[in-house]
Structure formats: C-alpha cells, structure tokens
C-alpha cells in the first residue's frame, strides 16, 4: 500500500497501523484457528534508531495497559546485507564440521540459509549451534552503532530487554533490529508479538529504497495470554462525565460545560429527556459513569457545581471555572 499510494512522496516518516483478519493457508495445527486477527503498526522513511525504540515502546505500553505481566522483551540486530554475508560465512565455517549432527530440515538449510539453523527448535541443532558466531559479533561499525543506540534509547525510558542472539530473521529484506515479546506459557514461553526493521522491503516490492520498521501482534494469542494470567479487560467508563442539570438556566450552562469537557477529550453526556434529578443519576449509573456533575439553579447562582465520584460515592463542591481541570486531574490520578 505504501508503494501503491506513493506515500513515500509525503513528508517522512510515514506512520501507519492496521487491524484485520489474516488467513493461514498452511496446514492448521490443532488448537490454532485458520482465521486470526492481527494488529500491526509500521513506520517508513527513517532509519533513526529512536524510531526502533519508539515502536518497541509502543508495543510494550500496549501490553502493559492490557495488564499483562511477566513479559520479556527480546531484542537482537541482524545487521545489513554486508554484515549478513560476513556472518553467513562465519556461520558456515562453524557449522561445517557439525553438519551431520543437524536435523534433516537444517541439513537442507545449511547451504541455502544457515541463519535459520540458529532458531531451529530441535535439540540437536541447538547443541550443534552452541557457541556459533552470532549476528551481533559480525556487525559492521554502522550497524553496531545503530544497535547500541537502540539499546540506549530503550534504557533511557526504562524498558528492560534481553539481547537474544538467536532471534534471527530468515528473509533478506530484514535488517538491523529484531524484537519479540515473550509471555510465560505452560512450561515455556510463547511469543505474543514482535517485529523488526526491514530496510530492504519497499525496494523489493518495487518502491524506492526506503527504510521501514514494523510490529505485529496476533490478537488471539494476546487474548489467550490475558485469560491465562487472569487479566480482566480494562474497565473504562462509558461516560467519563455525566452532567445532571436541574432547571432551564442550569441546563443552558450544562450545555456549555458539556462542550468544554468534550473539547478536553472527555466522553461527556447530559440529559435531553427532561428527567428528574433522581432519574438522571440513575441513568448515569447505568452507563458506568466516572463522575457526575450536578447543577441546580442554586449552585449556578453561586458559580459552583457538585462533583460526585460515582465509584467512591463521595462528592464535593467545585467552582464551575475549575470543573474541567478538576476532572482531568482526578482522571490522571485514577490511572496511577
């Protein structure tokens, strides 16, 4: 799509995301659905290591907001085509004497794509490749510098990671950063998302040479992990604020407050059905409202409103002019 719509002609970088069904055409194993849903995000046009860190930070933030725990972030660098050919040669040399110990599949990979042997799950291959040269030991100065800076950006925002030198990509358009987010699974760990840089991809599909990095997660995998960890779906109110107004003057003022709160990004509602105060409160309760603002003519005359925290059942008087700030502050505190 990036190539088709010539997005590279727009100011760079280009950031896109997608969410949609994906279909597996290969044989589907038991317990795996043929149709899965994938969410992904990509950034094209910049090879700045800060972009790598930004994409990783976004992914980690997403999982943490869902409430997932005990995640491990694995990162690695697979370098550029130049680093790769050095690594390929070194790896080939290393595995030559051990080739007969590899699994059938990897014996076939040995000439074509020895890199894939590093992420083979067969124990024989794991043993045979123990101590093999890693991609990071073969990086050219530029790629080594890129990887170092990705790590220091992650450090700077407190994101913990494990450098996993077995995290490699089989396809040639992948470059530099590779990452995978692992969650504890029954007896092992399983990946709940990952991504990496593919500076060679756009060119390969017929576009101008453009750096890119992407991240994707399978929603079904994430949901299964949430279930295993007993994580509840983040609650979230349907209405952040409901304004209960009593009397015509109060209603007019309520309308301007409503508008003001919405401008501030809050999901706010008020009554348009002429309900009594009691009925308005009941209505607000039905929609899992965070705060209710109550204004009658008496409050209006004094320039105040009653702000009720629906969950806590507490309320206080707040000056109308401070209402918006007050609600935003309370919502901020809620998040902590």
Smallest gap from residue 322 Cβ to Zn ion (A):
56
Handedness of CA 227, 231, 234, 235 (dihedral sign): positive
- Whether residue 2 contacts residue 202, with contact meaning beta carbons closer than 8 Å, is answered with yes
Distances (CA, A) of 245 to 9, 274, 283, 317: 52, 9, 13, 15
- DSSP 8-class letter at 201: H
Q: Using CB under 5 A, which residues numbered 186 to 215 contact Zn ion?
A: none
103 in contact with Zn ion (CB under 5 A) = yes
φ/ψ region of 67 (left if φ > 0, alpha if ψ in -120 to 50, else beta) reads left
Closest CA to 184 of 306, 71, 334: 71
Q: With contacts defined by CB under 5 A, name the span among 22-30, 98-106, 196-204, 242-250 that binds Zn ion.
A: 98-106
- Whether residue 47 contacts residue 5, with contact meaning beta carbons closer than 8 Å, is answered with no
99 in contact with Zn ion (CB under 5 A) = no
80 in contact with Zn ion (CB under 5 A) = yes
125 in contact with Zn ion (CB under 5 A) = yes
Q: With contacts defined by CB under 5 A, name the span among 114-122, 129-137, 157-165, 225-233 that binds Zn ion.
A: 114-122
Closest to Zn ion by CB, 57 vs 144, is 144
- Whether residue 160 contacts residue 94, with contact meaning beta carbons closer than 8 Å, is answered with no
Residues 142-181: x where in contact with Zn ion by CB under 5 A, - otherwise, as a string: -x--------------------------------------
Smallest gap from residue 199 Cβ to Zn ion (A):
10
Smallest gap from residue 46 Cβ to Zn ion (A):
17
Closest to Zn ion by CB, 151 vs 308, is 151
Smallest gap from residue 174 Cβ to Zn ion (A):
12
Q: With contacts defined by CB under 5 A, name the span among 1-9, 12-20, 72-80, 216-224 that binds Zn ion.
A: 72-80
- Whether residue 10 contacts residue 1, with contact meaning beta carbons closer than 8 Å, is answered with no
Distance CA 231, CA 223 (A): 9
Q: Interface with Zn ion by CB under 5 A: which residues?
A: 79-80, 82-83, 103, 106, 120, 122, 125, 140, 143
């Amino acid at each position: 799509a990036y190539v088709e719509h010539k997005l590279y002609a727009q100011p760079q970088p280009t950031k896109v995301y997608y969410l949609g069904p994906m279909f597996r055409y290969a044989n589907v194993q038991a317990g795996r659905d043929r149709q899965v849903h994938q969410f992904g995000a990509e950034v094209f046009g910049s090879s700045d290591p800060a972009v790598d860190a930004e994409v990783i930070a976004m992914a980690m933030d997403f999982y943490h907001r869902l409430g997932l725990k005990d995640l491990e972030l694995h990162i690695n660098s697979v370098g550029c085509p130049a680093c790769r050919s050095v690594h390929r040669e070194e790896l080939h040399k290393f595995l030559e004497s051990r080739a007969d110990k590899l699994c059938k599949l990897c014996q076939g990979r040995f000439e074509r794509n020895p890199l894939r042997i590093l992420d083979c799950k067969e124990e024989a291959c794991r043993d045979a490749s123990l101590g093999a040269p890693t991609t990071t030991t073969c990086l050219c100065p530029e790629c080594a510098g890129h990887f170092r800076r990705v790590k220091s950006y992650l450090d700077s925002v407190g994101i913990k990671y494990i450098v996993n030198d077995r995290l490699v990509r089989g396809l040639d358009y992948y470059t530099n950063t590779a990452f995978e987010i692992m969650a504890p699974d029954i007896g092992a760990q399983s990946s709940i998302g990952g991504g990496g840089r593919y500076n060679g991809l756009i060119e390969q599909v017929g576009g101008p040479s453009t750096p890119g990095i992407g991240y994707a997660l399978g929603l079904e995998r994430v949901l299964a992990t949430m279930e295993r960890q007993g994580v509840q779906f983040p609650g979230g109110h349907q209405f952040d604020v409901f304004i209960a107004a009593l009397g015509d003057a109060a209603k007019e003022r309520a309308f301007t407050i409503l508008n003001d709160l919405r401008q501030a990004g809050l999901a706010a509602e008020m009554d348009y059905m002429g309900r009594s105060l009691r009925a308005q409160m009941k209505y607000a309760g039905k929609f899992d409202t965070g705060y209710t603002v109550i204004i009658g003519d008496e409050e209006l005359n004094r320039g105040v409103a009653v702000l009720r925290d629906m969950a806590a059942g507490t309320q206080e008087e707040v000056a109308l002019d401070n209402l918006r700030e007050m609600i935003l502050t309370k919502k901020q505190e809620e998040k902590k």
